[in-house]
Structure 1
Amino acid sequence: MDHFPIFVQTDAARIIVSGGGDAALAKLRLLLKTRAKITVFAADAAPEIAQWHAAGQLTLVGRAMDYGDAVCATLFYGANEDEAEDARTAHLARTCGAMVNIVDNLEDSQFITPAIVDRDPVTIAIGTEGAAPVLARAIKADLEERLPQSLGTLARIGKTFRKASYALSFGRARRDFWRAFYFDAGPKAIAQGKDKVLPALESLLNIHLNKTAREGHVAFVGGGPGDPELLTLKARRALDEADVVIYDRLITPEILELARREATMIDVGKEGFGVHTPQEHINALLVEHAQAGAQVVRLKSGDATVFGRLDEEIDAVDAHSIGWHIVPGITSASAAVATIGQSLTRRGRNASVRFLTGHDTRGFADHDWHALAKPGEVAAIYMGKKSARFIQGRLLMHGADRHTPVTVIENASRVDQRVLETTLDALPAALEAAKLDGPALTFLGLAPRAALAAAPTIKIEEFA
């Protein structure tokens, strides 16, 4: 992040614009929405700028900017549309301590002006570090359509009521009150007229003051395979409401970013055959925070019900009479198999599919390897990289074809996803040579479709 987003106080602040052409006009149309004291320096200003000066909306000085003109200025915009003049005036502004923006010159600017969605006092700023202004405008247009014009009115009325809301305890009680206002009671009241909004606020506050606090609760949430766009709407809602998020090692930073900034984030990651958080400690954390009244999200990679030790955690919260619910997620096998253009089952090939975990080799010993070794069988093996040689040996011992296709998909659905295409007899050597270091799924009996332009694919020939 090269530009840290902040909102600058502009009430009575001094803002300087150097230039009087189209670039200056574009900035001034936005700046005039503020209550800043705006001064424009331009020897030849556009007629609109002269009109704003005549109306008292800004001060126009009919000459080029000179030494001392930017004293006490908070912001400076170089909009001369001339590289040399912009450099000269920006230097003058910097010597006076003003923050400098030069139009269409990201490298020499100290700040940038983002695309803005204006629902005053609700303001949404969209920045792309100057890399994609067209994209920023597209996002702005989308948000403009989604946010009602009445949002600003609700926010202004709500602002006057903030001190009254302090009667509610800090944290969840206040959040629940304001969520109910902005997304339910407020829109209903404003539809009947602005004069109905304040009485609706007072009534709502009375309801929440006499409301029994929500008991602690645990949501077991499937975080999907890693792509935040594959997260369900229900999962996103749970993250938005969580006071505490207890998450696994494979949860991506992009998904963690969706949690509230105020939420307590607890990493309980486990690494196969390596450092890990004891399950008993995770169980204790769930109970501790829920008993304290928190809304807890236990965020698991993929689907919480697949190889996630979910039953042990449910038993732990049940033992303390704590409420819970499950939010399903897209299991990694579903996301990974989509990458290679295959389906897990196909008429005439296999009517069932096995989900196995390579983490528990003791459980492997009791598996029906004879059935899995038959032609046409399909299995999705989670965490199977380190047990590849064991899997290979069991299958070959029970008569599996050495040339059975095997596909290993690392970091399924993520930007750094890789696909390893090999066969059963070459599986351990191929894995060792590929040096996959991310989470991977092994698909027995499936190969990428030949016509599919998939993510970067490593073929067995590379290791022959």
Structure 2
Amino acid sequence: MTSRLFPLFLDLRGRAVLVVGGGEVARRKIAALLDSDAAVQVVARALHPAVQAWVDAGRIAWRARDFADEHLDGAWLVVAATDDRAVNATVAAAAAARHLYINVVDDADLSSAQVPAVIDRSPLQIAISSGGAAPVLARQLRERIEAMLDDTLAPLAALLQRWRERIRTRLPHLPTRRRFLESLQHGAVADRLRQQRPDAAEAELARALDAADTAPRGFVSIVGAGPGDPGLVTLKAQRRLQDADVILHDRLVPRAVLALARRDAELIETGKQAGHHHTAQDAIHALMREHADAGKRVVRLKGGDPFVFGRGGEELEYLRAHGIDYEVVPGITAALACAAHAGVPLTHRDHAQSVRFVTAHCKASLDTLDWQALAQERQTLAVYMGVAGLAALRERLIAHGRAPGTPFALVENGARPDQRIVLGTLADLPARARAHAVQSPALLLLGEVAALAADLHWFGAAPLGAPQAAAPDDGAAMAHAA
């Protein structure tokens, strides 16, 4: 695995940068360095006409000779831009000996510094790097992002730079200040900049700052994190993670999803796992209230969807009772994600006309279920439960008429890189789970459609095993479907 680069912006104003080479490639590098007001020194036998013009204009210094180690004296950064790899390697070795960073054009192995593809909305800049592995891909991505960015970003950034201290003084409370700054891109200030009226934009900024609320009101977003794949997190959920001051997240929310949050957000794990006691629900309520009362934007981040066995309703009741403003951002629940990634349609015209979402974590919850209804055929059961309860589930379903040959698909870590699917029939459900050491998080899909995973799976490893037989009344239909 290639080591990860550390992204860094350099202030090269007035600082010496040595460029070895004077051709077209060197010209492009020198142009970017001049834009940064670097003191460019070029070592080359011959120069590109544009480079010669910079020399003639006194913008860069030129030594018309071959590279020598003493040319590195006083340099802060080195660029090797010749078409001779041996020369570039010599320059790289000399720079390394002096602990100088060097960029060797189109040669990642010799480089200790990479020049990214840049989106320039000065003073705002966005840099994209592939670590030298795929510069064309980085440039293509830059072009896509360029097309998405508003033309007001540069003047807005410059305006905020001038007003930074006044804004900090007027709004010392960080969450209030952040909300105020985020509101500017879509309000009257940005509108005036789009109209090419910078003075009017500055006047709007002054009015908005005078009216800014210094006593912020907290807000809680109950957000569904989806099944664990960051690609399945909704756009609105990503925005809330970027806006949040505090994120109270379940244990099973993976790091890849948490990485979507703003860097300085406070992350607090509040997960509960079957068989273990972590943060009690009352304590989660107290945390939401504590941070909301402090004027912070709080995200309560839940795996799957907040309103499908996620206690989202209880949390909304608590927030409403305490006068805290809230919203709900739905997520893709585990049953939908696991079924889709296992190739199991939850409903199917030939096999299942309904689907039931069921939770059964303990004996007490098992006793509350309508087993007669759950045991009906031609429906799919999506069972959220600890794997320890599979034996009791099987016994009660069979006792109430569900056929022992009903297919199941047990999906462990659904929609994640380590997803596993175990197939079988209801009769051997506990034994199959034990044989393959299935662990939480796992979701059970039970019904005639589960057998389709044997042929329709597409994500991750192939299913382990296959249904032994379909339910008696649907055996011919299942054989036809397979």
Query: Above 0.5 in TM-score?
Result: yes
Q: CA shift at 1:74, angstroms?
A: 1.6
User: Structure 1 residues 462, 335: CA separation in 2 closer, same or farther (over 3 Å shift)?
Assistant: closer
Are positions 1:424 and 2:429 aligned together? no
Hey, what's the Cα distance between the residues in 1 that align with 2:77 and 2:252? 44
Q: Which of 191, 194, 198 pairs up with 1:191? A: 194
Contact 1:234 1:327 (8 Å CA) reproduced:
yes
Q: SS in structure 1 opposite 2:115?
A: coil
Hey, what's the Cα distance between the residues in 1 that align with 2:459 and 2:100? 51
Contact 1:357 1:384 (8 Å CA) reproduced:
no
Are positions 1:175 and 2:178 aligned together? yes
Are positions 1:204 and 2:208 aligned together? yes
Hey, what's the Cα distance between the residues in 2 that align with 1:305 and 1:182? 33
Hey, what's the Cα distance between the residues in 2 that align with 1:30 and 1:234? 37
Aligned to 2:378: 376
User: Structure 1 residues 64, 113: CA separation in 2 closer, same or farther (over 3 Å shift)?
Assistant: same
Q: SS in structure 1 opposite 2:136?
A: helix
Q: Which of 224, 227, 231 pairs up with 1:225? A: 227
User: Mapping of 1:167-316 within 5 angstroms?
Assistant: 167-192=170-195, 193-208=197-212, 211=213, 213-316=215-318
Aligned residue identity for 1:453: W
Q: SS in structure 2 opposite 1:117?
A: strand
User: Structure 1 residues 438, 4: CA separation in 2 closer, same or farther (over 3 Å shift)?
Assistant: farther
Aligned residue identity for 2:413: N
Contact 2:355 2:380 (8 Å CA) reproduced:
yes
Q: CA shift at 1:349, angstroms?
A: 3.6
Hey, what's the Cα distance between the residues in 1 that align with 2:459 and 2:241? 31
Are positions 1:460 and 2:462 aligned together? no
Are positions 1:73 and 2:75 aligned together? yes
Contact 2:358 2:382 (8 Å CA) reproduced:
yes
Q: CA shift at 1:296, angstroms?
A: 1.0
Contact 1:73 1:97 (8 Å CA) reproduced:
no
State the Cα RMSD in Å: 2.2
Aligned to 2:475: none
Q: SS in structure 1 opposite 2:109?
A: coil
Aligned residue identity for 1:191: R
Q: CA shift at 1:136, angstroms?
A: 1.6
Contact 2:353 2:378 (8 Å CA) reproduced:
no
Hey, what's the Cα distance between the residues in 2 that align with 1:384 and 1:457? 23
Q: CA shift at 1:451, angstroms?
A: 4.6
User: Structure 1 residues 416, 116: CA separation in 2 closer, same or farther (over 3 Å shift)?
Assistant: farther
Contact 1:358 1:386 (8 Å CA) reproduced:
no
Q: Could you give the per-residue CA deviations for residues 85-112 of structure 1, whole angstroms, max 9, x where no partner exists?
A: 1121122223444212222332332221
Aligned residue identity for 2:125: T
Hey, what's the Cα distance between the residues in 1 that align with 2:315 and 2:150? 42
User: Structure 1 residues 3, 198: CA separation in 2 closer, same or farther (over 3 Å shift)?
Assistant: same
Question: Gaps spanning 5+ residues in structure 1: where?
Answer: none
TM-score (norm 1): 0.92
Provide the aligned length of Structure 1 versus Structure 2. Answer: 461
Hey, what's the Cα distance between the residues in 1 that align with 2:204 and 2:255? 40
Q: CA shift at 1:130, angstroms?
A: 2.8
Q: Which of 122, 138, 141 pairs up with 1:139? A: 141
Q: Which of 320-329 and 432-441 deviates more?
A: 432-441
Aligned to 1:163: 165
Q: SS in structure 1 opposite 2:178?
A: helix
Hey, what's the Cα distance between the residues in 2 that align with 1:311 and 1:86? 64
User: Structure 1 residues 25, 416: CA separation in 2 closer, same or farther (over 3 Å shift)?
Assistant: farther
Higher share of residues assigned helix: 2
Q: SS in structure 2 opposite 1:142?
A: helix
Q: Which of 11, 14, 19 pairs up with 2:13? A: 11
Q: SS in structure 1 opposite 2:62?
A: strand
Aligned residue identity for 2:193: I
Q: SS in structure 2 opposite 1:335?
A: helix
Hey, what's the Cα distance between the residues in 1 that align with 2:214 and 2:33? 46
User: Structure 1 residues 41, 365: CA separation in 2 closer, same or farther (over 3 Å shift)?
Assistant: same
Q: Which of 406, 409, 412 pairs up with 1:407? A: 409
Aligned residue identity for 2:181: W
Q: CA shift at 1:302, angstroms?
A: 0.6
Hey, what's the Cα distance between the residues in 2 that align with 1:128 and 1:308? 39
Q: Could you give the per-residue CA deviations for residues 117-138 of structure 1, whole angstroms, max 9, x where no partner exists?
A: 1111110011223333233222
Contact 1:355 1:381 (8 Å CA) reproduced:
yes
Are positions 1:441 and 2:439 aligned together? no
Question: Gaps spanning 5+ residues in structure 2: where?
Answer: 469-482
Q: SS in structure 2 opposite 1:289?
A: helix
Contact 2:451 2:466 (8 Å CA) reproduced:
no
Hey, what's the Cα distance between the residues in 1 that align with 2:343 and 2:127? 39
Q: Which of 93-102 and 155-164 deviates more?
A: 93-102
Aligned residue identity for 1:178: L
Hey, what's the Cα distance between the residues in 1 that align with 2:416 and 2:224? 16
Aligned to 2:94: 92
Aligned residue identity for 1:460: G
Q: SS in structure 2 opposite 1:69?
A: helix
Contact 2:218 2:298 (8 Å CA) reproduced:
yes
User: Structure 1 residues 31, 432: CA separation in 2 closer, same or farther (over 3 Å shift)?
Assistant: farther
Hey, what's the Cα distance between the residues in 1 that align with 2:233 and 2:184? 27
Contact 2:41 2:61 (8 Å CA) reproduced:
yes
Aligned residue identity for 1:83: R
User: Structure 1 residues 433, 58: CA separation in 2 closer, same or farther (over 3 Å shift)?
Assistant: farther
Q: CA shift at 1:30, angstroms?
A: 2.5
Contact 2:408 2:467 (8 Å CA) reproduced:
no
* Percent identity between the two aligned chains: 38
